[in-house]
Structure 1
């Protein structure tokens, strides 16, 4: 009788184990065949970004991806996992792995001289990416950004140009080293597929209207009447522009922009509450945005250092909207003498928050204008702060009508640390070192006792 019980018990256990293993095998196969993955990282490092999804979903042509890797290797496996995310979203992406040693002719054709090179081909165009230095440690750092940027460039038939006004002390788009430079912004705009140039209006009779945008980034000196007339002619003819105006400066542009639906304050915004979330008194943190295409699905805070207020006014034929506002604890300081002494306080006559710091307007079918109250928003120092860069790039995409690019761009891997308190550490220690082993020991004793008494 005892042997029979042992046999039944053993058989049941064996069947149960087989059933569990069978279920795990089936689930694993389904996940593999359907491309199912669970990404639990905070920055979604193992999932393609919203921007990549939009770009891939809107592909209107076939893209061949030639990946030059050794047949066996960690780099190849990592890239295969990443590019697989692209393939699963679009049948227009074709991937072929090439070993340069076995197919030297293909490598020569595309100028490939090292492993880890990826070539994206569309018709007669091709873009070479060197990803060998970007793939490491089980995480593909920046590789998604490189691939998606290449897809954007291959998808654009028309080259769009962004002109940065110069000659009045504006921010330098060629300055990559200093905090106030705009070199990083230029790089990001070029990654979006735009051509970026400087424009000296005194030398140019007029601003080209077709497929262009003008950016006026914090001029220190007033624009001449001739230059103002050129900008007016450009905008009235269907032009597009972004104005970034610092406090105390650009009085002629403040007056000029009233005709286009903007009311720009002669003030500086002070927001003490921003200190609590990483900003400062004169670096308001914006965490809420009004509904608009630019901020659809936008979930990141932005920092507007040294900003003036930007509101909108009603104008016939102009659709104006404030996009970003400061907190209710902010105010618009107009007494610059007290501000410079560091003793400015909110007075009964000051305008209080929420205050606009970013607004846009539309005129007719083509003219679109954006005004930011801060220039440092996208300087080298602040452009990578949370959503600063994304907000500006989304604005440029919207102005050009490239709505398929409005999104959250790829995030790069960063060190993740688990911060726990002393009490949490004690609970964790007790659970893993004492409770779990004790549970196993007690369970073993119970099983032993039951078997002994069978």
Structure 2
């Protein structure tokens, strides 16, 4: 074979190889297209919770956004609505300038200068001011799911979360935004559980519970009721009469963790990071740590008791310990051998049965973690933790997922698949190209010699 023919064949082979690689990469790009959004508030991607809600829709959703077409804000809303349409074929939208289309604006009672969205679903509609993905997603959730009644137990002489100056107003707003009706359950002259109760929240109980009160709560649980206990140290130990049935116990202890000082807290504000989360859907979707101030430990073991699974889904660090009420009153906060218990210590426990008809219980050793200051703190997932517990108790785990980030929040840790992709693109791929280049260079040099 002539030398020129060999050269042409080599050139043809190289061109064919390049074309084959290009076709293969194009195939991957078309059929395995995946985006990795590393922006702080998921600006160019919907949250996993929004995606789950959209995929669960039984009917079509139509969104009419009223806003001036020449405003940058309208362009941002339109870009976000494109993501909703891209996620689900059941979503459609149109942008209407109320000044240019006054008849349609009048039909939905929208003023000429208003910027508002009208969400239509299965004959129902909701008017919502869209400042973030969360606003629009929660509007769709309210239209597509059944309202559920959440009762806060209010006994005589105990704290009232419904006060106008309450530090729990954000929790009430979160519940109402996600289609829960929040009501007080007052036990004064009569002890009873309403038939329409989807969840009873026992919030910061101060006094001991009477046998009649404990019987009412446990009977409700046996009928399939859902209970959320949010406790404080050194109070209401009579609840052990319910907890002991599941080998769960609370004592007059409080958790101390000096590591919290590193993040600006004090020793009575244990911070729980991702590596300390248990195997539970309640915490598996949390991307950031949670802080449980003034937390009491919950003594239990992950086990099955009479068909019920007991799961400690929140645990403190190995560097934490407990002190008794007597030590706390004397300001003795150091670890005492034989008295204190070393971490990890359970501060969040779930109890559920194998059947959907059976009740569920969540016990958290802190009530303060769901107050306004901790729900609004950037870098903490306290709000998502609280809502995940409520969601798991009331609706199950189908819609539990990473929630839309608050508009003001910018930092977001990388997810596992994002870490792997970043590692591949930044380290493995360049190193592979570099090593292949060295091998080819040495081979060419050897050939010349």
State the TM bucket, normalised to the shorter chain.
0.7 to 0.9
Distance in 1, Cα, partners of 2:33 & 2:180: 33
Report 1:151-230 matches (<5 A). Answer: 151-156=140-145, 158-175=146-163, 177-178=165-166, 181-202=167-188, 206-209=192-195, 212-230=198-216
CA contact (8 A) 1:121 1:127 kept: yes
Q: Does 1:126 align with 2:115?
A: no
Q: Does 1:328 align with 2:318?
A: yes
Report 1:99-114 matches (<5 A). Answer: 99-113=97-111, 114=113
Root-mean-square deviation over aligned CA pairs: 2.6
Structure 2, unmatched stretches of 5+, are: 1-25, 412-449
Report 1:6-155 matches (<5 A). Answer: 39-113=37-111, 114-131=113-130, 134=131, 143-155=132-144
1:354 pairs with one of 326, 344, 350: 344
User: Deviation at 1:361?
Assistant: 0.3
CA contact (8 A) 1:176 1:380 kept: no
Distance in 2, Cα, partners of 1:207 & 1:416: 43
**1:122 and 1:42, CA in 2 relative to 1: closer, same or farther beyond 3 A?**
closer
TM-score for both structures, normalised by structure 1 = 0.76
Q: Does 1:262 align with 2:248?
A: yes
CA contact (8 A) 1:172 1:183 kept: no
CA contact (8 A) 1:159 1:211 kept: no
Q: Does 1:338 align with 2:338?
A: no
**1:96 and 1:305, CA in 2 relative to 1: closer, same or farther beyond 3 A?**
same
Report 1:288-307 matches (<5 A). Answer: 288-307=276-295
CA contact (8 A) 1:161 1:213 kept: yes
CA deviation string 1:195-232 (max 9, x = no partner): 11100133555313556100001112223333222212
Question: What's 1:242 paired with?
Answer: 228
User: Deviation at 1:255?
Assistant: 2.9
**1:286 and 1:416, CA in 2 relative to 1: closer, same or farther beyond 3 A?**
closer
Question: What's 2:442 paired with?
Answer: none
Question: What's 1:139 paired with?
Answer: none
Distance in 1, Cα, partners of 2:256 & 2:365: 13
Distance in 2, Cα, partners of 1:296 & 1:416: 21
2:400 pairs with one of 374, 395, 406: 406
Distance in 2, Cα, partners of 1:204 & 1:192: 30
1:312 pairs with one of 269, 279, 300: 300
Q: Bigger CA drift: 40-49 or 216-225?
A: 40-49
Q: Bigger CA drift: 220-229 or 267-276?
A: 220-229
Instruction: Say which SS state the counterpart of residue 382 (structure 1) adopts.
Output: helix
Question: What's 1:396 paired with?
Answer: 390
CA deviation string 1:273-319 (max 9, x = no partner): 22123432111111121111212232211111011111325532221
User: Deviation at 1:168?
Assistant: 4.2
Structure 1, unmatched stretches of 5+, are: 1-26, 135-142, 418-454
2:364 pairs with one of 359, 372, 375: 372
Paired positions, count = 374
